[in-house]
Amino acid sequence: DIVMTQSPDSLAVSLGERATINCKSSQSVLYNSNNKNYLAWYQQKPGQPPKMLIYWASTRESGVPDRFSGSGSGTDFTLTISSLQAEDVAVYYCQQYYTTPAFGQGTKVEI
């Protein structure tokens, strides 16, 4: 099974500053037949279910602000919040859906 590891476990960022979260998979999640990375990012606010932000590693879900961006390929991925807003305080998870789905352990973003 593919294991997903996120870093850091938590980070504190000032309002308006950049937040960067890393995610590493134990095996490549790049599907060679279509050159897509089967990697998604979710945001979970307290008391709420997860909300998908990014899929195929870098495609923003409809309605997601453009301050959220995803990058990376193969085994190494990054979620960047370009200018942190108060409403972005949450736990962020990466997930691979290339094989049996697996989530990273989560990264808590605080101000």
Partner 1 sequence: EVHLVESGGALVQPGGSLRLSCAASKFTFSIYAMTWVRQAPGKGLEWVSAISATGVSTYYADSVRGRFTISRDNSKNTLYLQMNSLRAEDTALYYCAKLTSPEVWLSRSDFWGQGALVTVSS
Q: Which is nearer to partner 1, 17 or 110 (CB)?
A: 110
> Distance (Å, rounded) from C-alpha 79 to C-alpha 46?
20
Among the listed residues 67, 39, 38, 43, the one whose alpha carbon sits nearest the alpha carbon of residue 53: 43
Question: Min. distance of Cβ 49 from partner 1 in angstroms?
Answer: 4
Question: Min. distance of Cβ 63 from partner 1 in angstroms?
Answer: 10
**Interaction site with partner 1 (CB under 8 A):** 31, 38, 40, 42, 44, 48-52, 55, 61, 93, 95, 97-106
Among the listed residues 41, 49, 51, 19, the one whose alpha carbon sits nearest the alpha carbon of residue 94: 41
Q: Which is nearer to partner 1, 52 or 89 (CB)?
A: 52
Question: Min. distance of Cβ 86 from partner 1 in angstroms?
Answer: 23
